[in-house]
């Protein structure tokens, strides 16, 4: 049981997942906002039932899962529907994240959230860690990972909190310009720091 939570964030392709996995290798429990946001609308979930009730059964695929493309279409064309969906899902996601954090078994836990500051989820954590990388490297690594164009990556970067703002808000910054093995040493240092902080709370 841990009550000390580190919020891990960074722009697309900055290396959040890579950093999170290095902490997991050290035995730290991860709670991932992307995974939680899929869990709350999984087949047979309360969230999905509410969505089907609101939008109709044709928002579901034949196998009973959410038809994400259909839902995207509905909220894209009608802002009030987007608002309805956010009002439904944001509290559910938040509750589920808190629940999973409460069940964490490591001395501290890590909450991985791409939009930690944008969605005000930094209020749920004891300190924040930002993975930092130049926009050039960020674009290159994302293009290689997702097979997307530079323009597509740049549009996503532009929609996220700026690098400068993230750095200003961060309690800790981890530079991911170097190799994964360099990253590993930086994670080990931060791990020791968080163990001490968790011990004091």
* Spatial separation of the C-alpha atoms in residues 190 and 187, rounded to whole Å: 5
Span interacting with ligand ADP, options 9-17, 24-32, 88-96, 163-171, rule CB under 6 A? 9-17
CB of 53 to ligand ADP, least distance (A): 34
Contacts to ligand ADP from residues 142-161, by CB under 6 A: 145
* Spatial separation of the C-alpha atoms in residues 149 and 112, rounded to whole Å: 25
3/177 with CB nearer ligand ADP: 177
Span interacting with ligand ADP, options 14-22, 60-68, 154-162, 166-174, rule CB under 6 A? 14-22
- Quickly tell me which residue has 């891990």 as its tokens: 8
Quick check: 163 binds ligand ADP (CB under 6 A)? no
Residue 64: count of CB within 10 angstroms of its CB = 11
CB of 176 to ligand ADP, least distance (A): 5
* Spatial separation of the C-alpha atoms in residues 163 and 43, rounded to whole Å: 36
Contacts to ligand ADP from residues 166-185, by CB under 6 A: 176, 179-180, 183
Quick check: 15 binds ligand ADP (CB under 6 A)? yes
The correct pick among 16, 74, 163, 191 for binding ligand ADP (CB under 6 A) is 16
CB of 140 to ligand ADP, least distance (A): 9
- Quickly tell me which residue has 């500051």 as its tokens: 117
The correct pick among 23, 59, 96, 141 for binding ligand ADP (CB under 6 A) is 141
Task: Please report which residue ranges of the chain form alpha helices under DSSP H.
Answer: 16-25, 33-39, 46-55, 68-77, 79-102, 135-146, 150-159, 163-169, 180-200
66 DSSP assignment: B
* Residue 92, phi-psi category: left (phi > 0), alpha (psi -120 to 50), beta (remainder): alpha
CB of 23 to ligand ADP, least distance (A): 12
Binding residues for ligand ADP (CB under 6 A):
10, 12-18, 141, 145, 176, 179-180, 183
């Amino acid at each position: 049981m841990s009550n000390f939570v580190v919020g891990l964030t960074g722009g697309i392709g900055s290396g959040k997942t890579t950093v999170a996995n290095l902490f997991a290798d050290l035995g730290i429990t991860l709670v991932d906002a992307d995974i939680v946001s899929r869990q709350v609308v999984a087949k047979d979930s309360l969230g999905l039932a509410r969505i089907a009730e609101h939008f109709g059964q044709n928002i579901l695929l034949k196998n009973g899962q959410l038809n994400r493309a259909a839902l995207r279409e509905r909220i894209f064309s009608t802002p009030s529907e987007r608002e309805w969906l956010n009002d439904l899902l944001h509290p559910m996601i938040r509750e589920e994240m808190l629940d999973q954090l409460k069940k964490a078994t490591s001395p501290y836990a890590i909450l991985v959230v791409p939009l930690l500051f944008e969605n005000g989820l930094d209020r749920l954590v004891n300190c924040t860690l930002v993975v930092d990388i130049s926009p050039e490297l960020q674009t290159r690594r994302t293009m290689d990972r997702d097979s997307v164009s530079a323009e597509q990556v740049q549009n996503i970067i532009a929609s996220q909190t700026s690098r400068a703002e993230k750095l200003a808000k961060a309690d800790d910054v981890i530079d991911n310009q170097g190799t994964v093995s360099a990253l590993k040493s930086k994670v080990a240092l931060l791990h020791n720091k968080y163990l001490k902080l968790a011990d004091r709370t």
